[in-house]
Amino acid sequence: MSHREPVELKPGFPAGCGYLSPGDLEAAIAGRLPAARAQEFEQHLDGGCGECATLAADLEAFAAVVSGGVLETERREADRQAELLGARLRRAARGRQTTWGRRWPSAAAAVLVVGVAAWLGLRDGGPADGLDIVLPGGGSYVAAVKSFSAPPVLRGERNLEELWRSAGSAYERGRYERAQKLLAEILEQQPDSFDARVYRGVCLLALERVGEARAVLAEARTQAAEQELSTTSLAWFEGLAALADGDVRAASAALDEAAAGTGADAERARELIGRLPD
């Protein structure tokens, strides 16, 4: 079976409010946060940071469950849902056959196709084999499109599966407006879906709604930070979106990040960086 490329975790990666590192969280949950660090955090909280106040409250509650144990009523309630969820997880473990490595080139292809579609004056995106992102200082970035498939159906829940299927179908046919709306629906039900968020950003980019695309990708960026997700592909799309927006500095930074990763999008980023004017 295929595997993802290793993900580089950044030491001291921020979580939640960004003040506590995963190491701090680890220590706090285990009740071993050094006193000096705890005091620093208290002082930070005194400054009125609302995000950190909720993190602190969540952290305290989680640590209390870990150290103090689960109440009998909580255990009974958890047991009632366990069978149902266990079955759902079994399905999910069996059904999860796609990997990011296979999905992202499709998403990349969507953006590339749109460039050509716009160039040809077609909105629905027909067969295409190039891209027309205009580079600062003249010239354009052109790349071949090898494949163009939709995001896979990921979830086990029926309604969400339907939404994913419809979104994938719309995406595959180049109907990015419909796809982005369906992805927005998925996000309403699953605000944590990083996949849906990034694909939606890609669709918006495809629709040349660059500002919205950048905003959605920025949300995905926050989510990636909080959940320690790989950012190579995300950075690649952020780079493209920034470039489309004429924000060369941001594009360059994002593409540098993507290029430092591994996989096809890192390759693409390295290639595109090489074409950027000095």
Give whole-number Cα distances, 263 to 22, 105, 139, in Å: 26, 10, 26
Burial class (CB in 10 A: 0-12, 13-18, 19+), 209: middle
Query: Which x/- pattern over 24-43 shows residues binding other proteins (rule: CB under 8 A)?
Result: -xx--x--------------
Q: With binding defined as CB under 8 A, does residue 215 bind other proteins?
A: no
The alpha-carbon radius of gyration of the chain (Å, integer) is 22
d(CA 71, CA 13): 33
Give me 265's structure tokens: 């999008």
Q: Is 72 in the site for other proteins (CB under 8 A)?
A: no
Residue with Cβ nearer other proteins (55 or 116): 55
Q: Using the rule CB under 8 A, is 264 a contact of other proteins?
A: no
202 Cα distance to chain centroid = 11
Residues 6+ positions from 189 with CB-CB distance below 8 Å: 159, 160, 163
Work out whether 228 is an interface residue with other proteins (CB under 8 A).
Answer: yes
Q: Which of residues 180-199 bind other proteins (CB under 8 A)?
A: 190-195
- Cβ distance to other proteins smaller for residue 16 or 130: 16
Interaction between residue 169 and other proteins (CB under 8 A): no
Among 33, 55, 203, 251, binds other proteins (CB under 8 A): 55
Site for other proteins, residues 86 to 145, rule: CB under 8 A: 86, 88-90, 92-94, 96, 99-100
Q: Is residue 162 a contact point for other proteins (CB under 8 A)? A: no
Closer of 63 and 276 to other proteins (Cβ):
63
Tell me if 228 sits within 8 A of 66, measured CB to CB. no
